[in-house]
């Protein structure tokens, strides 16, 4: 349970925060819907935060995504779940872990183990072996081909190994001419299936590493006049709906979402039992045989209802596109983004059965939008129970959602609020919250579409507003705004946004290619004690003193930043590796502090904990984005390790 004093705890239900990417995707949706049903039974509530899938792939825009994490810092949370297969950014995971560590919140990592979490994972290898055994034992197949994912991919390689080991149990082998790579998606799978057909040497069974490839293989075989399962058996893995709608339905292995959810809720409620290692739970997929392998399979889905639902979804998608295009078009003529609210309300009739809250940074509103500081929001649109609540409420990010307890106490809605970022690229505008009367995959997709359109409308509106405000002083004014937005107000050094912008600028400079970038994570020791014992003015003095010392340390060939609170960082670029230990860096900072008479007269020592990471600057921006993320992670981990000796840091400072 949340142990931090001062956190808002007057909520009527225990809250679980779920973090993942593209939570409208089928796998993530099935986990969320299973968790929501269990939360309804156990009287929990879910706040689900959906990050951008594009950001996970490219590494771009991750700084903007921190906006969502900042929203939970003052909410009482009883548990945090990270969906690690979709949320791949180490930087975002680290930020979530910091919140959990600071506040003593139990945190769960599902699908992929993460240090510092209760890990709930599936044994893909054992699960895939079950399917191979089913094909051999129940269908007497001895000649088996496999369509794996991508070459040199950990998930693909794991399933290839599992296939070989399972076949070996029966004295069989996966021959090299029976192993193909379909890259986990349609087009490459269709290509390799045609290779199998053209060879004239059909195997008895084709085992695919996921259902998408199994569906594609089945379709390609049928197009060539080859019957499934009469001529060739086909199996998949992961249990997606398109596999069950296929003709014939795909035999597959399905994740045991119910057991996964029960483990999480049991841990949070204190009723977990039976595991010698409470930090790790490993589950198996469940075999779901069907007609693509020759089994009878479960009772057919109601095809007429399913086709009707799909048709309705296509109509809904068309309506969303047409309606929201009107909102985007209207945004070109507004004088402030506040006016977008009226256009949303006129066009949003199809969504009035749900709860909607759209909030933007307050500084973006009005006729003279400014660069936001990320701490104050304004309600752009709100609709609850079909009632338009209008706009205008201004509130701190610490509030997260005005009237939150009223919303989660409304029994006409499901136990889930889905939160998405309003943004374009690296620029965050605010966030969108949606509650549901019913939870369907289409509902979550529609919310994703709504988020994209509102973000686009804000982008268009802001661009046109700024164009109308331009004059001969535009460049000077923009430079001044940019300087304010990247500078920490207390110390005068870069803030977090400015720091990462400066890093991107440095690693993009061809003059720096081949040089070494050393990144230092620096955390002040004992700021809370100074504030509590001597007052916040003294705490501010200590912060500014450390900032001056770090500025001096990085002055020749680097730059520095205050992330916020007691967290600092700096970067130094050198021709050769800068091999300085934490104690050496601490000594250099201390030597600067000793030259500040006022600092030496204070009744408290000013000390820091330090961690670092180093990497050669390369020309590929995607590689560098990943490297920077890993360096930040490594520096943070080293700093936390150094923090364990903070009392020694203080004692050493007192001696000197």
HEC-encoded secondary structure of 535-571: CHHHHHHHHHHHHHHHHHHCCCCEEEEEEECCEEEEE
Q: Distance between CA atoms of 234 and 588, rounded to whole angstroms?
A: 66
pLDDT score of 276: 44
Torsion angle in degrees (nearest 10) through CA of 96, 102, 105, 106: 70
Beta carbons of 424 and 455 less than 8 angstroms apart: yes
> What six digits make up the tokens of 309?
């639902």
Asked whether residue 378 carries a pLDDT value surpassing 80, the answer given is yes
Ranges 64-73, 174-183, 468-477, most confident: 174-183
Q: Distance between CA atoms of 101 and 415, rounded to whole angstroms?
A: 26
CA within 13 Å, CB half, 79? 24
**Closest among 35, 483, 515, 485 to 258, alpha carbons compared:** 35
Q: Distance between CA atoms of 56 and 554, rounded to whole angstroms?
A: 31
Could you read off the pLDDT of 318-344 as tens digits, one per residue? 667 777 777 778 788 888 888 888 777
Contacts 24+ apart (CB under 8 A), 593-600: 593/545, 593/546, 593/549, 594/656, 596/545, 596/548, 598/541, 599/541, 599/545
Cα-based distances in Å from 482 to 370, 421, 430, 470, 486: 10, 22, 19, 16, 6
The alpha carbon of 442 is separated from its chain's Cα centroid by a whole number of angstroms, namely 21
**Closest among 523, 542, 524 to 603, alpha carbons compared:** 542
Strand 252-254 vs strand 286-288: parallel, antiparallel, or unpaired?
Answer: antiparallel
Could you read off the pLDDT of 103-127 as tens digits, one per residue? 999 999 998 899 989 999 999 999 9
What is the CATH code for 305-469?
3.30.450
**Closest among 486, 585, 593, 619 to 541, alpha carbons compared:** 593
Is CATH 3.30.70.270 correct for 486-655? Answer: yes
pLDDT score of 348: 66
Could you read off the pLDDT of 396-445 as tens digits, one per residue? 888 899 988 889 888 888 999 999 999 988 889 999 999 988 888 888 88
Report the greatest alpha carbon distance in the chain.
Answer: 89
Place of tokens 């909030």: 359
Helix (H) or strand (E) holding 282: strand 280-283
Secondary structure letter of residue 176 according to DSSP? G
Domain range list for the chain: 124-256+289-293, 305-469, 486-655
Asked whether residue 7 carries a pLDDT value surpassing 60, the answer given is no
**Closest among 400, 331, 393 to 362, alpha carbons compared:** 393
Beta carbons of 614 and 581 less than 8 angstroms apart: no
pLDDT score of 472: 47
Where is average pLDDT lowest: 30-39, 447-456, 611-620?
Answer: 447-456
Total-model pTM: 0.65
Residue with the larger pLDDT of the pair 155 and 613: 613
> Coil, helix or strand for 449?
helix
CA gyration radius, the chain: 28
pLDDT score of 303: 58
- Find the DSSP H helices in 489-620: 496-508, 527-534, 536-553, 582-594, 597-600
CB neighbour class for 171 (10 Å; exposed up to 12, middle 13-18, buried from 19)? exposed
pLDDT score of 310: 66
Q: What is the mean pLDDT of the chain?
A: 88
Residue with the larger pLDDT of the pair 329 and 487: 487
User: What is the mean predicted confidence (pLDDT) over 7-26?
Assistant: 82
pLDDT score of 5: 39
Please tell me the CATH superfamily of domain 124-256+289-293, with its number: Response regulator (3.40.50.2300)
pLDDT score of 630: 93
Domains 124-256+289-293 and 486-655 share a fold: no
Q: Distance between CA atoms of 402 and 391, rounded to whole angstroms?
A: 12
**Closest among 148, 172, 171 to 159, alpha carbons compared:** 148
Asked if the bond preceding 431 is cis, omega within 30° of 0, the reply is no
Where is average pLDDT lowest: 286-295, 460-469, 605-614?
Answer: 460-469
User: What is the mean predicted confidence (pLDDT) over 578-587?
Assistant: 92
pLDDT score of 538: 94
pLDDT score of 474: 60
Could you read off the pLDDT of 66-104 as tens digits, one per residue? 889 989 888 899 999 999 988 888 999 999 999 999 999
Q: Distance between CA atoms of 479 and 631, rounded to whole angstroms?
A: 30
Cα-based distances in Å from 410 to 122, 386, 391, 393: 35, 14, 21, 21
Could you read off the pLDDT of 519-571 as tens digits, one per residue? 999 999 999 999 999 999 999 999 999 999 999 999 989 999 998 889 999 99
């Amino acid at each position: 349970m949340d142990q931090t004093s001062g956190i808002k705890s007057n909520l009527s239900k225990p809250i679980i925060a779920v973090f993942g990417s593209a939570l409208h995707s089928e796998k993530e949706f099935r986990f969320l819907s299973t968790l929501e049903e269990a939360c309804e039974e156990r009287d929990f509530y879910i706040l689900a935060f959906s990050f951008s899938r594009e950001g996970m792939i490219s590494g771009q825009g991750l700084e903007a995504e921190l906006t969502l994490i900042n929203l939970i810092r003052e909410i009482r949370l009883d548990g945090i779940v990270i969906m690690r297969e979709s949320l791949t950014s180490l930087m975002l995971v680290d930020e979530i872990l910091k919140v959990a560590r600071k506040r003593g919140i139990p945190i769960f990592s599902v699908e992929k183990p993460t240090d510092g979490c209760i890990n709930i994972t599936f044994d893909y290898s054992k699960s895939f072996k079950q399917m191979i055994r089913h094909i051999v034992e129940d269908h007497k197949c001895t000649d088996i081909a496999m369509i794996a994912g991508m070459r040199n991919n950990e998930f693909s390689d794991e399933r290839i190994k599992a296939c070989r080991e399972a076949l070996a149990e029966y004295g069989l082998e996966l021959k090299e001419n029976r192993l193909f790579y379909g890259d986990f998606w349609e087009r490459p799978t269709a290509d390799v299936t045609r290779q199998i057909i053209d060879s004239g040497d059909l195997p008895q069974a084709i085992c695919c590493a996921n259902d998408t490839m199994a569906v594609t293989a089945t379709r390609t075989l049928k197009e060539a006049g080859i019957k499934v399962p009469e001529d060739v058996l086909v199996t998949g893995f992961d249990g997606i709906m398109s596999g069950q709608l296929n003709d014939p339905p795909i035999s597959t292995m399905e994740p045991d979402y119910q057991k996964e959810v029960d483990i999480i809720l049991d841990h949070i409620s204190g009723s977990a039992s039976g595991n010698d290692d409470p930090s790790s739970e490993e589950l198996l997929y469940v075999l779901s045989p069907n007609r693509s392998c020759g089994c009878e399979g479960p009772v057919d889905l109601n095809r007429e209802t399913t086709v009707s639902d799909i048709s309705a979804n296509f109509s809904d998608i068309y309506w969303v596109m047409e309606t929201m295009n009107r909102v985007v078009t209207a945004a070109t003529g507004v004088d402030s983004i506040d006016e977008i609210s009226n256009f949303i309300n006129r066009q949003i009739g199809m969504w009035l059965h749900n709860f909607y809250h759209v909030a933007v940074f307050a500084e973006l509103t009005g006729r003279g939008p400014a660069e936001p500081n990320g701490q104050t929001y304004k309600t752009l649109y709100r609709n609850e129970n079909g009632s338009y609540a209008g706009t205008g409420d201004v509130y701190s990010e610490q509030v997260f959602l005005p009237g939150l307890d009223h919303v989660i106490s409304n029994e006409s809605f499901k136990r889930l609020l889905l939160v998405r970022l309003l943004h374009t690229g690296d620029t965050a505008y605010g966030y969108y919250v949606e509650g549901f009367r019913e939870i369907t995959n289409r509902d979550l997709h529609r919310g994703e579409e709504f988020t994209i359109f509102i973000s686009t409308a804000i982008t268009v509106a802001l661009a046109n507003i700024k164009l109308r405000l331009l004059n001969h002083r535009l460049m000077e004014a923009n430079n001044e705004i940019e300087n304010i937005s990247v500078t920490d107000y207390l110390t005068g050094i870069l803030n977090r946004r400015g720091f990462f912008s400066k890093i991107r600028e440095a690693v993009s400079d061809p003059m720096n290619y081949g040089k070494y970038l050393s990144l230092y994570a620096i955390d002040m020791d004992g700021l809370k004690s100074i504030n509590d014992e001597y007052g916040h003015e003294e705490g501010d003095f200590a912060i500014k003193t450390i900032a001056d010392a770090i500025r001096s340390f990085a002055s020749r060939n680097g730059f520095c930043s205050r992330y916020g609170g007691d967290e600092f960082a700096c970067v130094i670029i050198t021709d050769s590796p800068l091999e300085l230990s934490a104690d050496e860096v601490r000594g250099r900072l201390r030597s600067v502090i000793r030259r500040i008479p006022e600092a030496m007269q204070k009744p408290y020592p000013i000390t820091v904990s330090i961690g670092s990471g180093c990497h050669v600057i390369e020309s590929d921006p995607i590689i560098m984005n990943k490297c920077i993320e890993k360096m930040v992670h490594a520096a943070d981990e080293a700093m936390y390790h150094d923090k364990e000796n903070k009392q020694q840091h203080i004692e050493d400072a007192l001696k000197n």
